[in-house]
Amino acid sequence: MDFNLSEELAAVRVLAREFAENEIAPSAAKDDREGVFRRDLVAKMGEVGFYGAVIPEQYGGTELGFMALAIISEEIARVHSAIRVYLNMQVGPALTLLKAGSDEQKKNWIPPLVRGQAIGCFAITEPDAGSDVAAMRSTAVRNGGGYVLNGTKTWISNASVADQAVVFAYTDRAQKHRGMSAFFVDLKAPGVSCRDLEKMGAHSSPTGELTFDNFYIPRNGLIGKEGDGFKICMWHLNHTRLSCAAGAVGVARAAREAAVAYANQREQFGQKIGQFQMIQDTIAQMIVQEESARLLVYRAAALADQKQPNNLETSMAKYAAAEAAAFNADAALKILGAYGYSTEFPVERYLRDSKSYQIVEGSSNIQKLIIAQDALGYRKANR
Nearer to ligand GRA, 254 or 283 (CB): 254
Residue 365 engages ligand GRA in binding (rule: CB under 6 A)? no
Minimum CB–partner distance for residue 191 and ligand GRA (Å): 22
Does residue number 366 form part of the binding site for ligand GRA (CB under 6 A)?
A: yes
Piece of 99-107, 146-154, 215-223, 234-242 that binds ligand GRA (CB under 6 A): 234-242
Closest CB to ligand GRA: residue number = 362
230 binds ligand GRA (CB under 6 A): yes
By CB under 6 A, which span of 26-34, 131-139, 142-150, 255-263 interacts with ligand GRA?
Answer: 131-139
Q: Find how far residue 287's CA is from the centre of its chain.
A: 23
* N-to-C CA span, the chain: 24
The reply on whether position 304 binds ligand GRA by CB under 6 A is: no
Question: H-type helices in the chain, by residue range?
Answer: 7-19, 28-34, 39-47, 66-79, 81-100, 103-115, 229-263, 277-305, 311-336, 338-341, 347-357, 364-376
* CB 354, CB 251: distance < 8 Å: yes
CA separation for the pair 313, 158 (Å, rounded): 28
| Closer of 164 and 282 to ligand GRA (Cβ) | 164
Residue 173 touching ligand GRA (CB under 6 A) = no
Report the C-alpha gap between 52 and 325 in whole angstroms.
26
User: Does 244 sit near ligand GRA (CB under 6 A)?
Assistant: yes
Using DSSP's 3-state secondary structure scheme, residue 56 falls into coil
- Closer by beta carbon to ligand GRA, 73 or else 282: 73
Residue in 70, 66, 58 with CA at minimum distance from that of residue 16: 70
Active site residue 226: no
CA angle 112, 116, 119 (to 5 degrees): 85
Task: List interacting residues with ligand GRA (CB under 6 A).
Answer: 85, 88, 124-125, 131-134, 157, 177-178, 230-231, 234-235, 237-238, 240, 244, 311, 360-362, 366, 370, 379, 383
Which residues belong to the active site?
361
